[in-house]
Amino acid sequence: MSIKLGDNAPNFQADSTAGNIDFYEYLGNSWGILFSHPADYTPVCTTELGFTSKLKPEFDKRNTKVIALSVDGVEDHQNWIKDINETQNTEVQFPIIADKDRKVSELYDFIHPNASLTATVRSLLIIDPDKKVRLIITYPASTGRNFNEILRVLDSLQLVDSYKIATPANWNDGDDVIVPPFVTTEDARNIFPKGVQEIKPYLRYTPQPNK
């Protein structure tokens, strides 16, 4: 199955380090981040899970639940978490899905045969409260994720959902945002009382509305 932006994120039930999980029930009305790992006891994954754990306050602020997946079993996951906590100076609190039969990995297209016939690629999805897939990023197994970028995109998506805006290249929370083409300049000046700067008829900036 190939999942694309705007698709409904498939629901599933699976064992995890937090017991049996129904994915939709776990997410509830929150945003969600689902990310896959090639295997337990791997160095890049260890640093990623540790860093994700340290970002829990940031995800909580954004009403976002995270959940990881690896193709090993729950017992391996639990023992690996001890290593992660020790080496990364943290305490992993989010679930790690056990996917020994690779059902979830295949459901979410995490197996890329030209990269590996058995291990998952390092994929990450952001899923909104309506269970729509809003971001897909896939890294090779050798490259760790940039979680600052993931938080940045999450901020952008949540802002876009709240206001009629888009975010420009290298945007960070607090920077000016873009008035999208479907909003006329006249309407934009009414919608955005902080002002609209028109560079070109199609390129217009306004201060971030919620700052």
CB 208 within 8 A of CB 177: yes
Domains held by the chain: number: 2
Same structural domain for residues 71 and 120? yes
Per-residue model confidence as pLDDT tens digits over 90-148: 999 999 999 988 899 889 988 755 444 445 567 899 999 999 999 999 888 788 889 99
Mean pLDDT of 185-206: 95
Taking the model in full, what pTM does it have?
A: 0.91
Active-site annotation holds for 45? yes
Residue 90 maps to a domain: yes
Same structural domain for residues 23 and 72? yes
- Residue 126 sits in a domain whose CATH number is 3.40.30.10
CB 48 within 8 A of CB 137: no
Domain end point (choices 94, 113, 145): 145
Q: Cα dihedral sign for 114, 115, 119, 125?
A: negative
Residue 125 maps to a domain: yes
Domain range enclosing 23: 13-145
Per-residue model confidence as pLDDT tens digits over 13-49: 999 999 999 999 999 999 999 998 878 888 999 999 9
Residue 99 maps to a domain: yes
| From 45, 159, 165, 183, active-site residue | 45
Q: Amino acid letter at 29?
A: N
CB 113 within 8 A of CB 21: no
Q: Does residue 155 have a pLDDT over 50?
A: yes
